């Protein structure tokens, strides 16, 4: 199958090869953008974004050593540590998020895994946020099957657990838990019937192959994650990555576009790093198929564009916040045909039976 054939009728695939991902990622930019936008329009309204708000419910002193993270207890980033937030405070933040238009409320705790005495409180938070009419999402670290079932029973809609990077580069970023640990947590989440939110970070000094590898791992899971956050590293002073070379923003847009093509029904979230992006780069990301953003001043502990700036940007682009997000993506009515005059080149790589590079 050629790229043009796939674009006309995108199917959910779980057998992507490195050669295919590499060829897609490196298409001429205009062709890549056209293909991504064509796929996007077949499954989503291109002028809507889903909006979530993220709250840190337990901050800092995390025992993990994720090299990008200011919350890791292994690094001195000057972050003030906070205990688990009180239920009432969480619910008041959730109500405020709802009032400002968010449809999903995400709660993040800097834990290796949920702790005994705190876990029941988190379950109450999920129930309370759900009762406000918001979708719920949490990120609490590693889970076992039983914890995942309890979260589901409390009404959890999404669990965030990122792969971060490729299997090969992973050990340069985290040593305190393995890639396999992450895969097992995601298996528990899927097994409990909770939607998976999983993506990664680029700009951590990884090679191009690591970006292709991350996309391949995500798309080749037994189900595509329903939500795929693509983060641009926010280099925080005091972390091992504070002086890493700045990412080429065109590569970031390519990452979004390639994710959109490979996981056509997933929400692709433009996530951390937006604060450092120009409005024009963000506009390219939306054109490449990003259709979800975090809304609010903070992303756990790093800055996010302020709500007013986001409102103005979305208005300049004619993009509306999605009113009620659903786990089943809405279908756009104006699906693009594949007959536009762009090249069908795919560097000789077919979508099936492609040789690994
Ligand atoms: S990314 Fe999460 S698990 Fe890793 S150090 Fe930060 S809070 Fe802990």
**What pLDDT, on a 0 to 100 scale, did the predictor assign at position 71?**
85
Q: Does the structure show a pLDDT above 60 at 331?
A: no
pLDDT at 305: 63
Give me the residue spans of the domains in the chain.
Answer: 15-321
The mean pLDDT value for 160-187 works out to: 96
pLDDT tens by residue, 59-75: 888 888 999 998 888 88
Which helix (H) or strand (E) is 320 found in, with range? strand 320-321
Give the pTM.
0.84
For 82, 126, 258, the CA distances from 70, given in Å and listed in that order, are 13, 25, 29
Question: Measured in angstroms, how far is the CA atom of residue 80 from the centroid of ligand 1?
Answer: 15
Q: With a 6 A CB cut-off, is 71 part of the ligand 1 pocket?
A: yes
Residue nearest to atom 3 of ligand 1 (CA): 64
- pLDDT of 343 higher than 90: no
197 has pLDDT over 70: yes
Coil, helix or strand at residue 288: coil
CATH topology of domain 15-321: TIM Barrel (3.20.20)
Q: Which helix (H) or strand (E) holds 147?
A: helix 145-154
* pLDDT one-digit tens code per residue, 143-162: 999 999 999 999 999 999 99
For residue 260, how many other CB atoms are within 10 A of its CB?
A: 29
Using one digit for the tens of pLDDT, what is the confidence trace for 215-266? 999 999 999 999 999 999 988 889 999 999 989 999 999 999 999 999 999 9
Per-residue model confidence (pLDDT) at position 297: 57
Residue 165 CB contacts under 8 Å (≥ 6 apart), including other chains: 173, 200, 201, 204, 206, 210, 213, 214
Handedness of CA 179, 182, 184, 190 (dihedral sign): negative
Pocket test for ligand 1, best of 58, 59, 63, 66 (most atoms within 8 A of CB): 66
- Split at pLDDT 50, 70, 90, the class of 304 is low
How many separate helices (H) and strands (E) can be counted in the chain? Answer: 12, 12
Task: Please tell me the predicted confidence (pLDDT) of residue 182.
Answer: 95
Counting ligand 1 atoms within 8 A of each CB, the residue from 68, 79, 110, 163 with the most, and so the one to mutate, is 110
Tell me, yes or no, if 106 is annotated catalytic.
yes
**108 touches ligand 1 (CB under 6 Å):** no
285 is catalytic: no
Nearest CA to ligand 1 atom 2: 110
8 A C-beta contact, residue 94 and residue 124: no
Q: How far is CA 221 from CA 238, 271, 353, in A?
A: 34, 21, 19
CA atoms within 13 A on the CB side of 322: 26
Burial of 308 per CB tally in 10 Å (0-12, 13-18, 19+): exposed
Q: Report the C-alpha gap between 179 and 187 in whole angstroms.
A: 12
Q: What are the helix (H) ranges across 166-277?
A: 167-173, 179-191, 208-219, 249-262
Q: Given a cut of 50, is residue 332 above it in pLDDT? A: no
What the block records as the tokens of 131 is 């009762």
Quote the Cα angle for 114-116-121, to 5°. 75
For the stretch 13-27, pLDDT in tens is 999 999 999 999 999
Confidence of residue 78 (pLDDT cuts 50, 70, 90): confident
306-321 pLDDT, tens digit per residue, is 677 888 888 899 998 8
Q: Which of 338, 357, 337 is nearest to 347 (CA)?
A: 357
pLDDT for 336: 37
Give the model's pLDDT for residue 337.
Answer: 38
Q: pLDDT tens-digit profile of 32-49?
A: 999 999 999 999 999 999
Cα–Cα distance list, 314 to 289, 295, 306, 310, 344 (Å): 14, 12, 12, 6, 32
Question: pLDDT class for 141, splitting at 50, 70, 90?
Answer: very high
Predicted local distance difference test score (pLDDT) of residue 87: 94
Q: What angle do CA 208, 243, 167 make, to 5 degrees?
A: 35
83-109 per-position pLDDT tens digit: 899 999 999 999 988 888 788 899 999
């Amino acid at each position: 199958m050629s790229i043009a054939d796939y674009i006309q009728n995108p199917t959910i695939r779980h057998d992507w090869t490195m050669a295919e991902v590499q060829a897609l990622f490196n298409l001429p930019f205009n062709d890549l953008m056209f293909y991504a936008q064509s796929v996007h329009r077949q499954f989503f309204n291109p002028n809507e974004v889903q909006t979530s708000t993220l709250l840190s419910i337990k901050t800092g002193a995390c025992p993990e050593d994720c090299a990008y993270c200011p919350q890791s207890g292994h690094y001195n980033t000057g972050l003030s540590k906070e205990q688990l937030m009180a239920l009432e405070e969480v619910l008041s933040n959730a109500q405020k998020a709802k009032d400002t238009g968010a449809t999903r409320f995400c709660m993040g705790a800097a834990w290796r895994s949920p702790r005994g005495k705190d876990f029941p409180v988190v379950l109450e938070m999920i129930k309370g946020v759900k009762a406000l009419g918001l979708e719920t999402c949490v990120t609490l670290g590693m889970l076992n099957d039983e914890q995942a079932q309890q979260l589901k029973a409390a009404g959890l809609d999404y669990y965030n657990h990122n792969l971060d990077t490729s299997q090969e580069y992973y050990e340069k970023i985290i040593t305190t838990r393995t890639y396999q640990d992450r895969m097992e947590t995601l298996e528990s989440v899927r097994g409990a019937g909770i939607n998976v939110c999983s993506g990664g970070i680029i700009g951590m000094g990884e090679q191009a192959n690591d970006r292709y590898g991350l996309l391949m791992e995500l798309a080749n899971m037994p189900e595509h994650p329903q939500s795929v956050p693509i983060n641009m590293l926010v280099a925080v002073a005091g972390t091992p990555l504070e002086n890493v070379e700045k990412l080429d923003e065109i590569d970031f847009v390519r990452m979004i576009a390639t994710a959109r093509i490979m996981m056509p029904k997933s929400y692709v979230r433009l996530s951390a790093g937006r604060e450092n992006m120009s409005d024009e780069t963000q506009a390219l990301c939306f054109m490449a198929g990003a259709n979800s953003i975090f809304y609010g001043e903070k992303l756990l502990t790093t800055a996010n564009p302020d709500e007013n700036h986001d409102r103005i940007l979305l208005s300049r682009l004619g993009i509306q916040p999605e009113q009620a997000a659903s786990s089943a993506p809405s279908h756009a009515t104006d699906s693009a045909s594949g007959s536009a005059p762009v090249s069908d080149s795919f560097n000789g790589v077919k979508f099936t039976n492609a040789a690994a590079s």
